[in-house]
Amino acid sequence: MITLKNYLRRYTNIPALVCLLSEQRITLLDPETWDDKNDSHFLKLYQQKNGFQSVLALCFTRTSETYHHWRVFANGSSGVCVSFKRDQLLDAVGKQEGIRSGIVEYLTLAAMRRTELAIRDLPFWKRYPFEHEREFRIIYESREKVKSIDIPIPLSSIDRITLSPWLNQRLCTHVKRSLWSIAGCRNLEIVRSTLISNEEWKNFGESATHFAPACDDDNRQIGSNGHRPHI
C-alpha cells in the first residue's frame, strides 16, 4: 500500500457526500456506535480521564485505494471516497476550538505489555490488526454535552470524488450530473472506481503469450527451462 503524504481520504456514502457538498462542512460524531469497541472504549476513557462531557471524531485514511476500505466503510453502489487536500482541510478544521488531529499508531498485544500509555494518546492508538487502514483522525473535545459538531470547510479542499466500483455504469453519469449541479461543485473531479473492473488490467491479461517469461511468487522471472535466471 502507498501512504499518501498530501491527501486524506474519507470513505462514506452519497447522502453524506451530498450533505458535505451542499453545506460545505464535515461532521464529527460520537464514536460510541463504532464497530471496534476497543477503539470507542479508548475514546471514552480519554473523555472521562480529562473530565470532558463530549469527545467526537471523524476518521480518514492515509493510504491508496483498497478493497478493504470500500467493503468496510463504503460498501455497495452508494459508497464514495472523498480525497481531501490534507493541508487545506486541516487549516480549515484547525479554526474550530477544541480540535486535535493526528496519525493513529498501532500496537500488538506483545508491544502493548511493554508500553506506558499517556492519556493524551488514547484517541490515537489501535490494535495492530487494523494497521493496514493507515488511519488519520480528527477529534473534538468539549466540556459541554454535544452529540455532533459541524465544521466548515472550503470545497477547494476536495481534490477528487471517487464513486463506488459497484455503481452501475449507466447510473454513474446521472450521479455525476446531480453532484455537479450542487452550488460550487461544477468543476469538481468526479470519477468511478475501476478497482474491480479495470480495462487496462484486462488488456494486460489479453496480451499474455506462451513465450513470455513467467514469474514465481517473488515476482522474479523464470526462464523457459523452468529455472530462475542468474542475477
pLDDT of residue 4: 77
Domain with 34 in it: 7-192
The answer to whether residue 203 is domain-embedded is: no
The answer to whether residue 199 is domain-embedded is: no
The answer to whether residue 25 is domain-embedded is: yes
pLDDT greater than 50 at residue 159: yes
Task: Encode pLDDT of 130-157 as tens digits.
Answer: 999 999 999 999 999 999 999 999 999 9
For residue 48, report the phi and psi dihedrals to the nearest 5 degrees. -65, -45
The answer to whether residue 212 is domain-embedded is: no
SS3 for 230? coil
Q: Which three cell numbers stand for residue 152?
A: 466548515
Q: Which three cell numbers stand for residue 87?
A: 493541508
Residue-by-residue DSSP string for 90-119: HHHHTTSTTEEEEEPEEE-HHHHTT-PPPG
Task: Encode pLDDT of 48-84 as tens digits.
Answer: 999 999 999 999 999 999 999 999 999 999 999 999 9
The answer to whether residue 225 is domain-embedded is: no
Nearest to 65 by CA among 210, 193, 211: 193
pLDDT over 70, % of the chain: 91
Q: Give the range among 111-115, 130-134, 151-155, 210-214 with minimum mean pLDDT.
A: 210-214
Counting the structural domains of the chain, the total is: 1
The answer to whether residue 204 is domain-embedded is: no
For residue 168, report the phi and psi dihedrals to the nearest 5 degrees. -55, 135
pLDDT of residue 228: 47
Task: Encode pLDDT of 170-192 as tens digits.
Answer: 999 999 999 999 999 999 999 99
The answer to whether residue 96 is domain-embedded is: yes
The answer to whether residue 166 is domain-embedded is: yes
- Rounded CA separation 39/68 (Å): 18
